């Protein structure tokens, strides 16, 4: 029997999106939101611009990049750029989990670009990065949120590339160092490491990406919500606080609150440290676990944000994967009922297991408190199966 732990996480929020709000957050953080005002009035535009300015400073985004707020969360930011720049040359698509596969579907089935190559890997692995051809455009996720596998760095990306590198960094940015000099388009949403709200996306463009936008017109129609140029020129206003359509000023205020908090914990270095400490906590537990291991096989690729675990228990070896999945679900439900962890089941397309969010807003003391509960819940679930 595994004894039921007594210590509980203070905040049982380990969801991979929307993720835990910053420590100490209450709705009063939004008291000064510019609600009831036009988002095009000067103070509102200034607040939207402040989100970009603070993000740029924290992340160290090069001064010659554009950074703007766009509709439809990270998905909106990625899709508007895929629709706007692809087709000018061939494209290599990297996919090793659900979100990367989603971008493959966009390119292969929706845009129907013939000249695309898919470099794939199973859950837990990375594709062979040495096979990427940087004469082509390249689309990839920095951190595969549903497998917990990240690229270890940007060393594999050519400095003298001819194509553009489009990086979905939504579950990496603010918790991992990105190689900005190797990237041309970077996207994210506030709802991940910042613990902000969803539905708003951030789009960062290098000068080379802007050059593509201004020199290439795709052959397909672009809805208004995707349009970043007019008459062959970049819509600079989108990157100066004038959004394409109406944002929520409540969400903008919340993003500002999150960014101020990020500054208060030491900016990017502090955020990375907090997230890496969370990975270390789980790593210590995994090292002595008799039933769980990281889904990510190679240690250098293990995510410090979406930490995905698979079941290695000898009990599971001879059993049907579906039975193991049922046991995992029971364990997850128990933890929810106990109020010690919410939303930690693996993503619907991923192998059965757990996914613990360890982004910067999660306290490692809460993860430390949670880990013994995982042993308890698994023992209970196994016993009941």
Ligand X SMILES: Cc1ncc(COP(=O)(O)O)c(C=O)c1O
Q: Does 65 bind ligand X (CB under 6 A)?
A: no
Q: Taking phi first (over 0 means left), then psi (-120 to 50 degrees means alpha), and beta for anything else, what does residue 263 get? A: alpha
Judge contact between 80 and 228, C-beta under 8 A: yes
Does residue 79 bind ligand X (CB under 6 A)? no
Q: Are strands 116-120 and 91-95 parallel, antiparallel or unpaired?
A: parallel
Residue 278 sits at φ, ψ, to 5 deg, of -70, -40
Judged by CB under 6 A, does residue 195 bind ligand X?
A: no
State the nearest-atom distance from the C-beta of 234 to ligand X, in Å. Answer: 23
Residues of span 218-247 touching ligand X by CB under 6 A: none
Q: Which stretch binds ligand X (CB under 6 A): 70-78, 86-94, 276-284, 372-380?
A: 70-78
Among 52, 55, 84, 141, binds ligand X (CB under 6 A): 141
- H/E segment holding residue 272: helix 267-288
What string of DSSP letters covers 10-55? SS-B--SSSPPPPTT--GGGGTT--TTS-TTSHHHHHHHHHHHHHH
> Which token pair is 231?
């008459």
Return the range that interacts with ligand X (CB under 6 A); candidates 4-12, 54-62, 73-81, 215-223: 73-81
The answer to whether residue 140 forms part of the interface with ligand X (CB under 6 A) is no
Phi, psi dihedral angles at 254 (to 5 degrees): -65, -40
Structure tokens at 219: 């052959």
Q: Which residues contact 261 (CB under 8 A, 6 or more apart)?
A: 22, 23
Under the binding rule (CB under 6 A), the answer on residue 145 touching ligand X is: yes
Q: Work out whether 75 is an interface residue with ligand X (CB under 6 A).
A: yes
Q: Which is nearer to ligand X, 170 or 361 (CB)?
A: 170
Question: Is residue 303 at the binding interface for ligand X, with CB under 6 A as the rule?
Answer: no
- Applying the rule CB under 6 A, the residues between 7 and 36 that interact with ligand X are 17
Min dist CB 385 to ligand X, Å, is 30
* Among 74, 92, 254, 375, contact with ligand X (rule: CB under 6 A): 74
Window of 21-29, 68-76, 125-133, 228-236 that interacts with ligand X by CB under 6 A: 68-76
Cβ of 232: how many Cβ atoms within 10 Å?
A: 10
Cβ proximity to ligand X: between 198 and 379 the closer is 198
Does residue 347 contact residue 353 with C-beta atoms inside 8 Å?
no
Q: Which residue has the tokens 């596969």?
A: 101
- Say how many residues touch ligand X, by CB under 6 A: 13
Stretch that binds ligand X, among 71-79, 175-183, 238-246, 360-368 (CB under 6 A): 71-79
**Stated length of the chain:** 385
Spell out the residues 6+ positions from residue 62 whose beta carbon is closer than 8 angstroms to its own.
180, 181, 206
Q: Which of 55, 147, 189, 303 binds ligand X (CB under 6 A)?
A: 189
Taking the complex as a whole, how short is the minimal distance between the CB of residue 189 and ligand X, in angstroms? 4
Please say which residue, 104 or 326, places its beta carbon nearer to ligand X.
104
User: And the tokens for 274?
Assistant: 């907090």
Toward ligand X, which CB reaches closer, 74 or 257? 74
Contact between 168 and ligand X (CB under 6 A)? yes
> Which of 99, 285, 294, 378: binder of ligand X (CB under 6 A)?
99
Q: Is 253 in the site for ligand X (CB under 6 A)?
A: no
Tokens of 279: 């990975």
Q: Where are the extended beta strands (E) located within the chain?
A: 66-71, 91-95, 116-120, 137-141, 143-144, 149-150, 165-168, 185-189, 200-205, 229-230, 233-234, 292-294, 306-311, 353-357
> Is position 171 an interface residue for ligand X (rule: CB under 6 A)?
yes
Binding region for ligand X (CB under 6 A) out of 62-70, 121-129, 165-173, 206-214 = 165-173
Provide, rounded to whole angstroms, the least separation between the CB of residue 72 and ligand X: 7
Name the site residues for ligand X (rule: CB under 6 A): 17, 73-75, 99, 141, 145, 168, 170-171, 189, 191, 198
């Amino acid at each position: 029997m595994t004894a039921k732990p007594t210590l509980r996480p203070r905040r049982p929020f380990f969801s991979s999106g929307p993720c835990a709000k910053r420590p100490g957050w209450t709705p009063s953080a939004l008291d000064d939101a510019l609600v009831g005002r036009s988002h095009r009035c000067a103070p509102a535009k200034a607040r939207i611009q402040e989100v970009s300015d603070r993000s740029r400073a924290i992340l160290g985004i090069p001064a010659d990049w554009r950074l703007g707020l766009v509709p439809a969360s990270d998905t909106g930011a990625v899709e508007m750029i895929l629709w706007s720049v692809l087709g000018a040359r061939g494209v290599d698509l990297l996919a090793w989990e659900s979100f990367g596969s989603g971008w493959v579907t966009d390119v292969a089935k929706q845009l129907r670009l013939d000249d695309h190559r898919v470099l794939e890997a199973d859950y837990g692995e990375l594709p062979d990065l040495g096979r990427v051809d940087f004469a082509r455009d390249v689309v990839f996720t920095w951190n595969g949120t549903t497998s917990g596998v990240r690229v270890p760095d940007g060393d594999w990306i050519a400095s003298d590339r001819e194509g553009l590198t489009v990086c979905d960094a939504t579950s990496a940015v603010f918790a991992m160092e990105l190689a900005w000099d190797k990237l041309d388009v970077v996207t994210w949403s506030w709802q991940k490491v910042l613990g902000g709200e969803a539905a708003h996306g951030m789009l960062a463009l290098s000068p080379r990406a802007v050059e593509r936008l201004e020199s290439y017109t795709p052959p397909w129609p672009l809805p208004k919500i995707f349009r970043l140029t007019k008459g062959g020129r970049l819509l600079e206003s989108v990157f100066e606080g004038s959004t394409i359509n109406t944002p929520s000023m409540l969400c903008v205020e919340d993003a500002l609150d999150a960014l101020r908090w990020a500054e208060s914990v030491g900016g990017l270095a502090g955020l990375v440290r907090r997230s890496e400490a969370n990975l270390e906590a789980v790593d210590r537990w995994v090292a002595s676990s008799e039933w769980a291991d990281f889904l990510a096989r190679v240690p250098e690729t293990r995510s410090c944000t979406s930490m995905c675990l698979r079941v290695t228990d000898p009990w599971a070896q001879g059993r049907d994967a579906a039975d193991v999945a049922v046991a995992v679900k029971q364990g997850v439900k128990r933890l929810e009922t106990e109020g010690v962890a919410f939303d930690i089941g693996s993503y619907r397309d991923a192998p059965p297991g757990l996914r613990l969010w360890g982004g910067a807003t999660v306290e490692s003391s809460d993860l430390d408190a949670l880990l013994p509960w995982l042993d308890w819940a698994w023992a209970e679930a196994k016993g009941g199966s």
